[in-house]
Structure 1
Amino acid sequence: MTMILHPDQNSAFPATPSRATRSLGLVYGLLSYAVFLGAFLYAIGFVTGVLVPKTIDDGTTGAWSTALMIDLALMSVFAVQHSGMARRTFKSFFARLFSPAVERSTFVLLASLSLILLFWQWQPLPTVVWGIDGPVFAGAVAAGGAIGWIIVLYSTFLISHFELFGLTQVITQFMGRVAQPIKFKTPGLYRLVRHPIYLGFIIAFWCTPLMTVGHLLFASITTGYIFVGIWLEERDLVAFFGDEYRKYRERVAMLLPGLF
């Protein structure tokens, strides 16, 4: 399968293991994807404040300093897990202990669980930073956030959604096949910006008709983490693709077409 490489992906599989092991890997991959899907859908409701039992502004309001420390700790757990397991050093270590076919599913599962922990323990900081009262303008801003989520999901399918979230790897192993080498490709939005998934997240987090201090904290920290993630990701992509990615980086903007 030809696609642009996401640095968290690993498609090099060893010799075919036993059928029981392959079956177990397939079940594990399917369960990991199910947990991810639930966490992703809940994240949309958590940020937008709709259709979920607890949103970013819900919960008992306690001491401001305590809430801040807890929220920062929760986001740090996600950042450390996500960045640490995405690095090639961790992938090599994982491959020495377990089947590389389930490495991506393990990453997805633990990332999803860290998000679930964040949703569960998040402490609201409900002071309003801005609020848009007019239904037309509020609806337009909310629609912008929805477009952000659509960009995120659409972009994952452009680079093979099911490989990005580990299903392709476990299915390939279960069928006893060897994955094809990854080729560099820039489909759709990847011709306009190098990181449309990250762009979608930034739009989704910031386009809200009601911005509280807690939401502002979440959006600010995650945006900062995205820029760190881009730096780490592009370092891995250059190491993997070499001059091919360097030329791509020179001609295509990082997040905003024609700007940066």
Structure 2
Amino acid sequence: MSKFIGFLYGLTAYLIFFVTFLYAIGFVEGMIVPKAIDTGPVVPVAEALIVNLLLMSLFAVQHSVMARRQFKDWWTLFVPKPVERSTYVLFASLALAFLFWQWRPMPTVVWQVANPGIANAIIGLSFIGWLLVLVSTFLINHFELFGLHQVANHLTGRDVPAMRFKTPMLYNFVRHPIYLGFIIAFWAAPTMTVGHLLFAAVTTAYIFVGIFLEEHDLTELFGDDYRNYKRRVSMIIPWRKSI
């Protein structure tokens, strides 16, 4: 029964993540969702800036701290190991949902593309970024990344396979295609407001901090395999020399 409850918990966490991911697309693109990045009551600029920075900082701290090995070693003293990843995904989704809910729009336009054809092309590029994010997760095991694989294995009594170093398809051209997809999705905007620019700039800065932390962990885990991979493949820009 505890295994089944763990599976239901992991499934619920995954579904919450997936809904949050879909909402994120609408939030950034300003489409369909009831509250987007440029909609809602407008407050004084200073208030909006402080609140939005705090919201992004909350997500960044949660997302980074809970992903560190030292935190996981402590956290799994209280949270069963099979649902540890699901709990991380759930907390990250809730932090992101809170950001969407409390975000203060800053609607002053920084730039705007007037030509409809070019504007639609930029929107299309942004959606290519979102697609790149999703495809890249499946290349490295989407369901393991978001905790569902672990609770399913626990339910059926199978051991979780040991992590092995692999570089499927896109990962042979850039080390972090998921982050590249987010950068494209956030910056490819035909209408860029101050609020959207703030969101794109801060999240991009956080992405590079996240890469530094993640690569430190991956080097510890895979040793020379990952060091050689870093020398061979560029971090974020496919056509640049590896850095």
- Shared fold per TM-score greater than 0.5: yes
Tell whether 2:157 aligns with 1:176.
yes
3-state DSSP of counterpart to 2:214: helix
Equivalent of 2:41 in 40, 60, 65: 60
Read off the aligned partner of 1:230 and give its amino acid letter. Answer: I
Read off the aligned partner of 2:213 and give its amino acid letter. Answer: L
Cα deviations by residue, 1:42-68 (Å, 9 ceiling, x for unpaired): 000000000101100001111110011
3-state DSSP of counterpart to 2:161: coil
* Larger CA deviation: 86-95 vs 226-235: 86-95
Greater relative contact order, per chain length (Cα 8 Å cut-off, separation 6+): 1
Tell whether 2:94 aligns with 1:117.
no
How do 1:141-220 residues align onto structure 2 when only pairs under 5 Å count?
141-220=122-201
Read off the aligned partner of 1:214 and give its amino acid letter. Answer: G
Q: Give how far 1:179 is off.
A: 1.1
The 2-side partners of 1:143 and 1:177 are apart by 42
The 2-side partners of 1:139 and 1:258 are apart by 26
TM-align CA RMSD: 0.7
Tell whether 2:206 aligns with 1:225.
yes
Question: Deviation above 2 Å: which 4+ runs of structure 1?
Answer: none
Equivalent of 1:250 in 224, 231, 240: 231
How do 1:32-47 residues align onto structure 2 when only pairs under 5 Å count?
32-47=13-28
The 1-side partners of 2:96 and 2:162 are apart by 31
3-state DSSP of counterpart to 2:192: strand
The 2-side partners of 1:63 and 1:170 are apart by 46
The 2-side partners of 1:258 and 1:145 are apart by 20
Cα deviations by residue, 1:138-183 (Å, 9 ceiling, x for unpaired): 0111111000000000000000000000000000000011111111
Q: Give how far 1:258 is off.
A: 3.1
The 2-side partners of 1:186 and 1:102 are apart by 26
Could you tell me the TM-score, scaled by structure 2's length? 0.98
Query: Quick one: percent identity of the two aligned structures?
Result: 57
User: Which stretches in structure 2 are left out of the alignment for 5+ residues?
Assistant: none
Q: Give how far 1:94 is off.
A: 1.7
What is the aligned partner in structure 1 of residue 82 from structure 2?
101
Read off the aligned partner of 1:220 and give its amino acid letter. Answer: A
What is the aligned partner in structure 1 of residue 70 from structure 2?
89
Q: Give how far 1:96 is off.
A: 1.7
Aligned residues, how many?
241
The 2-side partners of 1:24 and 1:140 are apart by 46
Could you tell me the TM-score, scaled by structure 1's length? 0.92
The 1-side partners of 2:238 and 2:197 are apart by 25
Q: Give how far 1:98 is off.
A: 2.2
User: Which stretches in structure 1 are left out of the alignment for 5+ residues?
Assistant: 1-19
Equivalent of 1:137 in 111, 114, 118: 118
What is the aligned partner in structure 2 of residue 8 from structure 1?
none
